[in-house]
Structure 1
Amino acid sequence: MDNRVYKDITVQYCFPHSNASCRKEVQTGPAFIFLFIVLSCISVCTVFLNLLVIISISHFKQLHLPTNLIILSLAVADLIVGLIVMPVNIMQLIDTCWYLGKLLCLIFPLISSLSVFASVLSLVLIAVDRYIAVCDPLLYPSRVTVCKISICIILGWLFCLIYCIVFMYLNDHLTATQLYSTCYGECMLLLKQSWLIFDFVLSFLIPFFVIMVLYALIFKVARHQAKAVRAMCNSVFKKQETKFPSSSETKAAKKLSLVIFVYFICWIPFYLSSFSVENVTTSSIVWTVFGWLLFFNSFMNPIIYAIFYQWFRVSVKLIMTCRIYESSSSRFNLFSDGV
């Protein structure tokens, strides 16, 4: 490797044969090696777990339900994070040089922001779906169908893509003249604070408000329904103390609310810390630490499914034992103990 020596200090460059090359900084300490191993494991597990969700919902016909289609959309967004976003960020964490060229430098932030914004959209759709299921259960089958949800998901991803393109363009990222502004071998996205505030309102504050309002209404209606059922049953059984299980829709709403809670816990630190500086760059410590907290959310979602959803646990068992290759496997009953 061609190195240039100044005052007995050897300096390495990303592209030694280019006079405009950036300096190369490779983190090789024990702490960074341990961090590399941990983050790599998280990336692999994120891909593996979300693939299990995608295969489960796609393969088993019993899971072809409107709510599960939205969960499928969320899993696809999380898969993109684990398959593309995490590995590239691990590479940049260990080696500061960008070796993937100008085109991928243009596209990568777009892919990263698209996967994140699509996750927000999926969470909003989940909240709307659960609201209709709990608050208007009689009209739910006619109002929420697989076809309608599929169209909403496609239009939502298209809107996310357009928004991300406009956002990157207005931050002067989608113009070739803005790339490698300091040296060759650098890919850095500069986020202006004014547009960061706009993005905070559109992709965080508004969805947060909508989701919290919908879930508040869901739990209010569920509580009212539980009191009504309890009062009726008490009158029948002469006020005998009996515990009545909540409806499946209410249970699903409570489980999915945990997904919402984990998501916002991962997002809040990034935005709050980002507003403390005038400009945020992808090379800043804020972006590195709290950016990885965002990515960690994609790892947590399928774990939440595994803990709370019987269909996911059963489908994983069928996938891992290769029973999905049976001719009638797509028609298995995932809610039966005899599978």
Structure 2
Amino acid sequence: MDNFTEFNKSETRCEKQELVSDEIGRIACIVFLSAIVAITVYGNLMLIVKVARRKQFHRKINVFVISLAVADLGVGLLVMLPSIVHEFTRILSLEKHVTDKLLFLFDCMFTSSSVMHFTCMNVDRFVAVSKPFTYFRIMTSRVVSLLIVLCWGVPLGISLIIIARTEMKKCDNAIIVNGAPALSGAFIAFYLPVFLNFLAIVNIYRNVCNQDKLLCNQIKNSNPGYSERHQKRETRVTRTLVILQIAFTLCTTPFFVLLILEHISGVRYSNTTWFALSWLGYFNSTINPYLFYFLNKRLKTSR
């Protein structure tokens, strides 16, 4: 995510500021951020194991949850950890151009993959609440597999296009990225999907509320207990998805808003500001598994 930030129009900005000047502060930052990485890795591994052990993959939402957890795990191991090494040490040398582009690819791909997963989850929820009786005929294994491929393929494609159209320069352990590819990538990978997801989740929530009575009336004669359980489950899953997307938006929006502001106004914000906002976005991968875990009663009671 922070790889979007180092851009300019005149290509005259070629300066890397130290985030922390003193050695004690640097060590403290490394320890603190490494703890966040550990929490991120543990949380997502825990979620993957918990969901996989339940073996309830007939509920397609669980497939997307595992895939999202894998993406968040990738953020922890392949984005957050290299970010610490890059910012506070000189182990990753920019003389290795291939390594630079690989880290840049991971940064763009994993941090934009979450929004694609939420988009696919919204598709699943929309079908579940609008067509509950034909859900399993629509959301087949083939359809779910296609959506999972899109969750990973679209971010990868966007990242490769940005890299191909971006002029990357070595500059005191920093990468300079021109504004046009960064902004177009931000629009395609963030603003547009978030806007569409917002419209989708509002529509899904309305469907859940409006179909409570209709669904109950249609099936209560055959199985009254199932009616109540089914509707509670759909409402709970939808509520969890709403909370997860709100958390994602709160964590990532400041970064992309500042990206637009810097490009429009020409004001150059400090590296510390960009680093903090980048890690606020990364932090969403830390809280996702814990939010899902604590909002899912059945998952908490499973062993």
Would the TM-score normalized by the shorter structure come out above 0.5?
yes
Higher relative CO (CA 8 A, sep ≥ 6), structure 1 or 2?
2
Task: Name the CA shift for 1:280/1:254 in 2 (closer, same or farther; >3 Å).
Answer: farther
Task: Name the CA shift for 1:189/1:252 in 2 (closer, same or farther; >3 Å).
Answer: same
**Greater CA radius of gyration, 1 or 2?**
1
Q: Which residue of 2 aligns with 1:313?
A: 300
Kindly indicate whether the alpha-carbon contact (under 8 Å) linking 1:46 and 1:79 is maintained by their aligned counterparts in 2.
yes
Residue correspondence of structure 1 range 281-300 to structure 2 within 5 A: 284-300=271-287
Task: Name the CA shift for 1:23/1:302 in 2 (closer, same or farther; >3 Å).
Answer: closer
1:134 matched to 2:134? The reply is: no
- The superposition leaves residues 14-44 of structure 1 with CA deviations (integer Å, 9 ceiling, x where unpaired) of xxxxxxxx99967444443332222111101
Kindly indicate whether the alpha-carbon contact (under 8 Å) linking 2:244 and 2:291 is maintained by their aligned counterparts in 1.
yes
Q: Which residue, 240, 260, 263 being the options, matches 1:275?
A: 260
Kindly indicate whether the alpha-carbon contact (under 8 Å) linking 1:50 and 1:78 is maintained by their aligned counterparts in 2.
yes
Q: Which residue of 2 aligns with 1:303?
A: 290
Structure 1 stretch displaced more, 279-288 or 84-93: 279-288
Kindly indicate whether the alpha-carbon contact (under 8 Å) linking 1:80 and 1:115 is maintained by their aligned counterparts in 2.
yes
Instruction: State the 1:212 CA deviation.
Output: 1.3
Q: Secondary structure at the match of 2:262?
A: coil
1 CA distance for matches of 2:126 and 2:152?
Answer: 22
Structure 1 stretch displaced more, 37-46 or 193-202: 193-202
Which structure carries more helix by proportion? 2
1:199 matched to 2:185? The reply is: yes
Which amino acid is the alignment partner of residue 140 of structure 2?
T
Q: Which residue, 212, 225, 241 being the options, matches 2:211?
A: 225
Instruction: State the 1:63 CA deviation.
Output: 4.2
- The superposition leaves residues 193-249 of structure 1 with CA deviations (integer Å, 9 ceiling, x where unpaired) of 22233123211221112211111111212222235579x7xxxxxxxxxxx885311
Q: Which residue, 125, 137, 158 being the options, matches 1:163?
A: 158
TM-score by length of 1: 0.72
TM-score by length of 2: 0.80
Structure 1 stretch displaced more, 95-104 or 118-127: 95-104
Q: Which residue of 1 aligns with 2:99?
A: 104
- The superposition leaves residues 100-144 of structure 1 with CA deviations (integer Å, 9 ceiling, x where unpaired) of 733211200101111112111101001111111011111111101
Q: Which residue of 2 aligns with 1:41?
A: 35
Q: Which residue of 2 aligns with 1:241?
A: none
2 CA distance for matches of 1:48 and 1:250?
Answer: 28
Q: Which residue, 182, 186, 208 being the options, matches 2:194?
A: 208
Task: Name the CA shift for 1:27/1:314 in 2 (closer, same or farther; >3 Å).
Answer: farther
Structure 1 stretch displaced more, 158-167 or 97-106: 97-106
Task: Name the CA shift for 1:207/1:109 in 2 (closer, same or farther; >3 Å).
Answer: same
Which amino acid is the alignment partner of residue 292 of structure 1?
W
2 CA distance for matches of 1:71 and 1:154?
Answer: 14
Q: Secondary structure at the match of 2:61?
A: helix
Q: Which residue, 227, 231, 240 being the options, matches 1:255?
A: 240
Which amino acid is the alignment partner of residue 158 of structure 1?
G
1 CA distance for matches of 2:246 and 2:295?
Answer: 15
Aligned pairs, number: 276
Which amino acid is the alignment partner of residue 308 of structure 1?
L
- Structure 2: tracts of 5 or more residues without a match: 1-14, 218-227
Q: Which residue of 1 aligns with 2:81?
A: 87
Which amino acid is the alignment partner of residue 260 of structure 1?
Q
- Structure 1: tracts of 5 or more residues without a match: 1-21, 233-243, 319-339
Structure 1 stretch displaced more, 40-49 or 97-106: 97-106
Q: Which residue of 2 aligns with 1:72?
A: 66
